[in-house]
Structure 1
Amino acid sequence: MSQSAAPALSNTDRNPGMPLRTDWFDQIAVNTQAAERRAATLTTRRTVKKEWQAAWLVNAIRCIDLTTLAGDDTEDRVRRLCAKAVRPLADHIMAGLGLEHLTTGAVCVYPTMVAAAVKAVAGTGIPVASVATGFPAGLMPLDLRLAEIRYAVDQGAEEIDIVITRAHVLDGNWAALYDEVAAMREACGAAHMKAILATGDLQTLRNVYKASMVAMQAGSDFIKTSTGKEGVNATLPVSLIMVRALRDYTDRTGDRVGFKPAGGMKTAKDAIAWQILMKEEMGNDWLRSDLFRLGASSMLGDIERQLERHITGRYAASSRHAIA
């Protein structure tokens, strides 16, 4: 198995954005049943077993944004999370896989926890991501949301996960959505920006496509499905539509934008399913952490259990792979 690390994000990878072009999506039509059928066949048409499954799971770890976004978060919990990000697998599993170095793609926390996370991962190369802009609802005045972005960046966050105003999508007010996201992108400065669309609140797949395109035109470096707090979070049909929008944007502009599903993904099987989606729709380049992230926490525990079974032939108790 390869020991090479996935490439880190760099400022040269930024999506520069462009002026709003509603003609790129005004007449878009989405066949919901076809999207659901395509999503349903993704994991049945391609299967991975044994050492190939282990390789896919290791790659998933490299792409995880290991996350804690709870109301009772403490600096101690964040430090434990960061320790898991630095050493996501037990030593005997690393040795069995022939790996010398492995980390998660990032850690993701609230703005007030950024400083603790930055200190905990110092020298490891793991970026700290922070949610901002009134996460998860985003229902705050824009100047306060922009101030929260600047605060998180000042604390050391290298990536910012913003939330959009869902009402702009539901009202079809694309100019307002574009201006909001562009202002957030400016406030991020050198930090990469992931635009959370909260797709479970957007009602239709057409709205998901349109919101994805506006967010990318406004300069989002990633588009992300969910906050994890909606009634419906990441699903394969929604992810398929977002990835198709991403592909259309890349084909038109030549600029590559990343994708991050988040919320509701808990198992190693989920990790493989979303990687298959990226491989089938975008190719191997989008199986790297600079273009693909998985927003998850409990998923890592199940991946570790599956990899231990691959190495030892038996499952360990879930408590042996606790995160925080």
Structure 2
Amino acid sequence: MTDRPTALRAAAHPDDARRNPGLPFDLDRVRAVQANTGAIERRAASLPGRRSVKKEWQAAWLLRAITCIDLTTLAGDDTPGRVRRLCAKAARPLRGDLLDALGMEPITVGAVCVYHEMVETAVRALEGTGIPVAAVSTGFPAGLSPFRLRLAEIGDSVAAGASEIDIVISRRHVLTGDWKALYDEMRAFREACGAAHVKAILATGELGSLRNVARASQVCMMAGADFIKTSTGKEGVNATLPVSLVMLRAIRDYEAATGIRVGYKPAGGISKAKDALTYLAMMKDELGRPWLNPELFRFGASSLLGDIERQLEHFVTGRYSAAHRHPAG
């Protein structure tokens, strides 16, 4: 996967660097993708201890992490009031006194992520903030509803104002090695999204092997995914460092071959500031500084922001605060 075919580069639109137009399906390219599980796991195990940032540097990295959060609520008991509170928090994720102490202008999170039913509520609540609304779609989280309904769900969410759509792939296509079916499905989802950016959720905890993760990543990017995302957050195993390493290197290979930058979103189980720092360091090591921004990197998280706030308050005051000092809205 180190070659850079001219034909692949020609498929990219140089005037649309923010979107991934995709490539024609290439089964040989997919089958060439491999994963050295032992080497990947050794590298992943070394990541938490390889980078240590302290004091003002840590504060700066944590502020960057806030801007890359997809602040999420995907609960069966979501209400309009809860979503409005989440949106208020998204627009002002850090208390004003902490921003002042850090010498920072106001910041916002990367997006707010909700079920389709709450898209209109979120869009209204975020009006004027510039924060996009992301909708989970295509029969989230299992992806097993009829195909026509999954496509219709995308269209409904876009019509309601969602500018990002987080779709779930059919895991059976990966598990049976039907890569053309996965490509066709992803391509249809991409077309249904129109101008809305599409994040492909691989549900990596259910794909069986790191090689399957690597191949599914390649196929989804080939079919036009703007982001690849680890998990729905509902699987038994969600974002992990080995899986993330595999997906980041797939992104790196795709960028090397096509010139197109695809984004990455780890989701599920990332709730501590120290974990956010590890992921940011891995992004910088594997993909470089361009990926350290919300255009190409997001955390799918609901509780991460609270711990980051606590760490920033400790930096400012020297004390850890109680949870009630960092309300959700």
After TM superposition, the score normalised by the length of structure 1 is: 0.96
Render the CA deviation track for 1:220-245: whole Å, top value 9, x for unaligned. Answer: 00000000000000000000000001
Q: Given that residues 246 and 257 in structure 1 are in contact (C-alpha distance below 8 angstroms), is that contact kept between their aligned partners in structure 2? A: yes
Matched residue, 2:302: 297
Given candidates 245, 251, 256, the residue that maps to 2:256 is 251
Q: How many residues align?
A: 315
**How far off its partner does 1:27 sit?**
3.1
Which runs of 5 or more residues in structure 1 are unaligned?
1-9
Given candidates 265, 270, 277, the residue that maps to 2:275 is 270
Matched residue, 1:123: 128
- 2:246 aligned with 1:212: no
Q: Given that residues 137 and 167 in structure 2 are in contact (C-alpha distance below 8 angstroms), is that contact kept between their aligned partners in structure 1? A: yes
Matched residue, 2:81: 76
Matched residue, 1:202: 207
SS in 1 for 2:231: coil
**Higher mean Cα deviation, 34-43 or 304-313?**
34-43
Render the CA deviation track for 1:89-116: whole Å, top value 9, x for unaligned. Answer: 1111111111122000000000010000
In structure 2, distance between residues paired with 1:276 and 1:20: 33
**How far off its partner does 1:12 sit?**
4.7
CA RMSD of superposed structures (Å): 1.1
- 2:210 aligned with 1:234: no
**How far off its partner does 1:28 sit?**
2.7
Given candidates 174, 180, 184, the residue that maps to 1:169 is 174
In structure 1, distance between residues paired with 2:240 and 2:248: 12
In structure 2, distance between residues paired with 1:49 and 1:169: 42
Render the CA deviation track for 1:60-119: whole Å, top value 9, x for unaligned. Answer: 000000000000000000000000000001111111111122000000000010000000
In structure 2, distance between residues paired with 1:149 and 1:29: 32
Q: Given that residues 17 and 260 in structure 2 are in contact (C-alpha distance below 8 angstroms), is that contact kept between their aligned partners in structure 1? A: no
SS in 2 for 1:40: helix
Matched residue, 2:58: 53
Partner AA of 2:215 in structure 1: K
Given candidates 251, 255, 260, the residue that maps to 2:265 is 260
Render the CA deviation track for 1:144-178: whole Å, top value 9, x for unaligned. Answer: 00000000000000000000000000000000000
After TM superposition, the score normalised by the length of structure 2 is: 0.94
**Higher mean Cα deviation, 25-34 or 153-162?**
25-34
**Higher mean Cα deviation, 314-323 or 217-226?**
314-323
Render the CA deviation track for 1:262-296: whole Å, top value 9, x for unaligned. Answer: 00100001111111110000001100100000000
In structure 2, distance between residues paired with 1:193 and 1:128: 12
- 2:105 aligned with 1:97: no
In structure 2, distance between residues paired with 1:292 and 1:284: 11
Render the CA deviation track for 1:22-69: whole Å, top value 9, x for unaligned. Answer: 222313331112111111111211110000000000000000000000
Partner AA of 2:27 in structure 1: T
Partner AA of 1:206 in structure 2: R
SS in 2 for 1:134: coil
Q: Given that residues 205 and 238 in structure 1 are in contact (C-alpha distance below 8 angstroms), is that contact kept between their aligned partners in structure 2? A: yes
**How far off its partner does 1:11 sit?**
6.3
Q: Given that residues 30 and 219 in structure 2 are in contact (C-alpha distance below 8 angstroms), is that contact kept between their aligned partners in structure 1? A: no
SS in 2 for 1:13: coil
Q: Given that residues 34 and 214 in structure 2 are in contact (C-alpha distance below 8 angstroms), is that contact kept between their aligned partners in structure 1? A: no
In structure 2, distance between residues paired with 1:272 and 1:244: 19
Matched residue, 1:4: none
Partner AA of 2:292 in structure 1: L
In structure 2, distance between residues paired with 1:29 and 1:289: 29
In structure 1, distance between residues paired with 2:235 and 2:73: 16
In structure 2, distance between residues paired with 1:64 and 1:19: 32
Given candidates 164, 188, 192, the residue that maps to 1:187 is 192
